Amino acid sequence: MKNLITKTICIICVTAMLVLSVTGCAMNSGGEQADTAGEPREFDFENDPNISRQTKAGIRVACFLEEEYQYWTDELKYMSSELQSAGRISRYQARNYSTMEEAWDALAGAISMTTRGKAVFVPEYIFTYNDMTAEELDEMLGLEDIDLMLTFGSVCGKYLTANADRISYDYMVFGAANPIAGGIVRSETERYNDHSFAMTDSGETERALQVAYDIFGFKDIGVVYEDNEAAYIYSGIDVLEEMSEKYGFRIHREFVDEAADEADNDRHYRELKEAYDRLIPQIDTLLITTGTLEDYDRIPELLNDVIDAGIVTIAQDTEEQCRLGAMMHLMVTNAEDDGMFMAKTIGRYCDGVPITSLNMVYVAEPRLYLNYEVARRTGYRLPMSAYMSAQTIYTAEDMK
């Protein structure tokens, strides 16, 4: 009996030791696996078809603009704020920046909150087309340490498209009036190359001009713009000509070179005023085209004689032009909505969506702005339906 008890105890001890041994091995094995799992994963960008270039640690982003333009600055500002709201960046200071360089510096100072596919906005990589020599443009085309060029305006978009075979990076074009007519993309779904994207709304200008025609039914409309292909496109003259054939109204043109720099402003606005004076006897409506009237403080002086002559004035650019002296502005897009679309597009790109798969179409809700005081001075009786549809109606008090 004593021997039986001794044998039983020995068996129990051996069994316990075996269990402890196996458990200890399992625990050690688990600890080693945890350490291995904590190591960063390596991605094979060269050979793995499921890994796109966007999924690398940082997407280095540059900026390319034609010239300083407040609308583009606002687009960039709202885009940055939306990126922060979406949790993609932090420590961005949202302010009313007066230049693209200021807005870009603020964005470059932000910190990405993602670990893969994060956007790194390179502070020194902001390029202004009008200030660059041919050699500097060549150097920009040859950059190999960026992945994405944020591009503002038709001129820059067309330049990169024309030189797409010389670049290694992708580019997104924003703030271009008509990227299709401007030769930046083939259509709302087709590109000329695999590097490109352009925020596109092919009916934007047509919608605005159609609303203006429905309200005013003009017979003779005057336009002033720079005599080149780019201004012809972003001023919507091609669309105006198509409507002219459809409705039978006449287009009266004057050409004025845009200001080359701030020192050239006085010459530009003097010639613009002279062009308006020449148009007054011929027209019932003046279309204030994009690129001709950017110094809004000059609007009252420039439009005073036009208004007193009883001529309808339509601002193509912003509601601020309407507040200060134009009778109407139809906003078919705005910088805040643009910025939200831009941020979502860049976010998808950073998440790994190839640039050729990104949706380029963006259609904003149109907003009508009217100036009651200008209508009163002009002697034009706007229909009640126009007032009822207006987002904002400015009065004499607003013009001060």
Residue 159 pLDDT greater than 80, yes or no: yes
Say if residue 73 is in the same domain as residue 170. yes
In a domain, 379, yes or no: yes
Is pLDDT of 337 > 90?
Answer: no
Asked whether residue 298 falls in the same domain as residue 343, the answer is: no
Q: How many CB atoms lie within 10 A of CB 159?
A: 20
pLDDT at 56: 54
226 and 174 share one domain: no
- Please check whether residue 243 is in contact with residue 272, taking contact to mean a CB–CB distance below 8 angstroms: no
In a domain, 126, yes or no: yes
Residues 275 and 288 in one domain: yes
What distance in Å separates the CA atoms of residue 47 and residue 30, rounded to the nearest whole number? 31
- Quick one: pLDDT at residue 110? 86
Task: Provide the domain count of the chain.
Answer: 2
Most confidently predicted of 149-158, 227-236, 329-338: 149-158
Structure confidence at residue 206 (pLDDT): 82
Distances (CA, A) of 286 to 1, 130, 230, 281, 390: 119, 29, 20, 12, 20
Residue 388 makes CB contacts below 8 A (sequence gap 6+) with: none
User: 248, exposed or middle or buried, with CB in 10 Å at 0-12, 13-18, 19+?
Assistant: exposed
Is the residue at 18 inside a domain?
Answer: no
Q: How many CB atoms lie within 10 A of CB 153?
A: 24
pLDDT digits 0-9 by tens, 161-173:
999 999 999 999 9
Task: Tell me whether strands 89-90 and 111-112 are parallel, antiparallel or unpaired.
Answer: antiparallel
Domain that holds residue 347: 53-201+335-357
At 273, which amino acid appears? Answer: K
**Mean pLDDT across 262-269:** 89
Q: How far is CA 178 from the centre of its chain?
A: 13
- Per-residue pLDDT of 56-76, as tens digits, reads 568 899 999 998 888 899 999
Q: What pLDDT shows up at residue 57?
A: 62
Alpha-carbon distance 330 to 118, whole Å? 37
In a domain, 340, yes or no: yes
The alpha carbon of residue 189 and the mean position of all alpha carbons in its chain are separated, in whole angstroms, by 18
Say whether both 186 and 208 belong to one domain.
no
- Alpha-carbon distance of 224 to 138, in angstroms, equals 33
Q: What is the CATH number of the domain that holds 345?
A: 3.40.50.2300
How far from the centroid of its chain's Cα atoms is residue 393's Cα? 27
**Is pLDDT above 50 for 22?**
no
- Give yes or no: residues 168 and 83 share one domain: yes
Average confidence (pLDDT) over 312-341: 88
- Do 127 and 73 lie in one domain? The reply is yes
Q: Domain check: are 128 and 260 in the same one?
A: no
Q: 264 with 381, same domain?
A: yes
Q: 212 pLDDT exceeds 50?
A: yes
Range in 17-31, 129-143, 311-325, 346-360 the model is least confident about? 17-31
| 197-206, 352-361, 381-390: segment of lowest average pLDDT | 197-206
Least Cα distance to 329 among 297, 269, 287 occurs for 287
Q: 13's torsion region: left (phi>0), alpha (psi -120 to 50) or beta?
A: alpha
- Taking only the tens place, the pLDDT of each residue in 29-49 is 333 333 333 333 333 434 444
Average pLDDT of 212-219? 93
pTM equals 0.64
- Alpha-helix runs per DSSP H in the chain: 2-37, 70-85, 100-108, 134-141, 154-162, 204-216, 229-234, 237-247, 265-279, 299-308, 319-324, 335-350, 372-378, 384-389
Verify that 160 and 246 share a domain, yes or no.
no
- Report the C-alpha gap between 311 and 223 in whole angstroms: 13
Tell me the per-residue pLDDT of 96-135, one tens digit each, with 9 for 90 and over. Answer: 898 999 999 999 988 877 665 688 899 999 999 999 999 9
- What pLDDT is recorded for position 192? 94
pLDDT in tens, 273-291: 999 999 999 999 999 987 6
Residue 146 belongs to a domain: yes
Is 83 found in the same domain as 155? yes
Does residue 92 sit in the same domain as residue 176? yes
